[in-house]
Amino acid sequence: MKIAVAGTGYVGLVAGVCFAEKGHNVTCVDVDEDKVKLMASGVSPIYEEGLEELMRRNNATGRLHYTTDYRGAYRDAEAIFIGVGTPEQPDGSANLSYIATVSRQIAESVERDCLVVVKSTVPVGTNDKVEQFIRDFLKRDVKIEVASNPEFLAQGSAVHDTLHAARIIIGTQSREAEATLRKIYEPFGLPIVSVDRRSAEMIKYACNDFLALKISYMNDIANLCELVGADIGAVAEGMSYDARIGAKFLNAGVGYGGSCFPKDTKALKYLAKQNGYTLRTVEAAVAVNEAQKTKLFHKASNRLITFQNLKAAVLGLAFKAGTDDLREAPSLDNVRLLLESGANVCAYDPVAADNFRKRYPEGECGGGTIRYVNAPEEALQDAHICFIFTEWGEIRAVVPEIYRAKMQIPLVYDGRNLYDTAAMREAGVEYYSIGR
């Protein structure tokens, strides 16, 4: 099938590449000419395991194309997937301006009957508005219908999550639209859950917010564990055997980040208030997560007199391992606080350092200094304190004895519970983690 994909971020690019991998003829549309040239050469603008390999393979077959010419891409597409961003606005609502721009471009470009599929995460009822908006601006006498097809990929495993999804959610208002989407996804061989459009939109928010709530709940329990002398690791293990709870998203830490959970919890909270309802559980999850991000910084502040002129090693900058994404990463708030407190930050991340450098250029910054290194051991050399914010394998591989040998003061605050507390203590490291 001939498919166009609007937007080449995590959602759009991964979807487009995977559609091509399954045999469809795909054109990915982006406004950035340099980005289009980069992708055409087989280089991904985002770090995602396995993505570049699929890009190069499908570029070579001629099934995958990239362009800034949206008119040409949309003109005769049988299906157009919208995968542009819906960033959070100051009041917590979703910014739909990119959706509106693409919708109008589609309306002014299509020359044949077409199914428009919204993959972007949008508030409930948005697909109805998109369909009406496109019809309002249509230039030709063609039939346009809009469907909802929310994505459920996780950054760091997005390709696998797309090709081996637990299920495909499709939201349609007609048998014809449902049949088209089923045809598109038939080569994937995955279970398909077909519902109405508004239910599909709500499924996306309900899933993400439930997982965010689960994370915040475990962090809340972890904080109580510290006060009463329990071990959150042992508690999580005991919980994991209960099939009603499951084993995933039970790890305590410094809170969730990324492009989905922070934005989607706030968006659903806003949507509820717009409809005269208060989602108390979601509001609690948001509040717990916000406080959790800087928990270790404040604990370290109580331990030290000052951060002024101290070398602070920061291991891990991405919001989680497997990605270079910094959106809502705990490292951002903590590095800002360290710099404002006069610390000399030495940061390591195997893939996200370049992105972090764009926000915090190397050198003097905010009252302190920051520089970036290529190995955890280099960051630890002569450090007075260390913070761990991302669970990279490269960081986990650093044995406890290295902290004692490299640091001036072996003082470690671990936001991902990477180490055994007894092993760190035996190595002579003053070690603080979450809920233990």
On whether the 293-432 domain is CATH 2.60.450.10, my answer is no
pLDDT above 90 (res 321): yes
pLDDT in the model for residue 165: 96
Please give the average per-residue pLDDT across 361-382, as a whole number: 96
**What was the pLDDT predicted at 396?**
98
Alpha-carbon distance of 89 to 97, in angstroms, equals 11
Q: With cut-offs at 50, 70 and 90, classify the pLDDT of residue 274.
A: very high
pLDDT one-digit tens code per residue, 400-420: 999 999 999 999 999 999 999
Indicate the pLDDT class of residue 259, thresholds 50, 70 and 90.
confident
Strand spans (E) along 311-367: 311-315, 344-348, 363-365
pLDDT, position 329: 96
Q: Among all residues, which ones are annotated catalytic?
A: 260
Q: What's the confidence (pLDDT) of residue 114? A: 97
pLDDT, tens digit, 9 for 90 and up, residues 93-139: 999 999 999 999 999 999 999 999 999 999 999 999 999 999 999 99
Phi and psi torsions of 144, nearest 5°? -120, 130
What would the mean pLDDT of 144-166 be, rounded to a whole number? Answer: 95
Q: Which of 161, 159, 133 is nearest to 146 (CA)?
A: 133
Whether the domain at 2-195 and the domain at 209-290 fall into the same CATH topology = no
Q: Where are the domains of the chain?
A: 2-195, 209-290, 293-432
Percentages of the chain per state (helix, strand, coil), in multiples of 5: 45, 15, 40
DSSP 23: T
Report the chain's mean pLDDT, rounded to a whole number. 97
Q: Which residues of 221-232 are buried (b: 16+ CB within 10 A; e: fewer)?
A: bbbebbeeeeeb
Residue 24 has pLDDT above 90, yes or no: yes
Question: What are the tokens at 160?
Answer: 């696998």
8-state DSSP, 87: P
Is CATH 3.30.750.80 the classification given to domain 209-290? no
- The token duo for 263 is 């934005």
Which residues sit opposite 314 in a β-bridge? 347, 387
For the question of whether the overall pTM of this predicted structure is more than 0.85, the answer is yes
How far apart are the C-alpha atoms of 162 and 154, rounded to whole Å? 9
Q: Which of 8, 108, 22 is nearest to 57 (CA)?
A: 22
* 2-195 is a CATH 3.40.50.720 domain: yes
Residue 176 has pLDDT above 90, yes or no: yes
What is the mean predicted confidence (pLDDT) over 18-43?
97
Alpha helical stretches, state H, 229-251:
232-240
pLDDT at 29 exceeding the cut of 90: yes
| 317 has pLDDT over 90 | yes
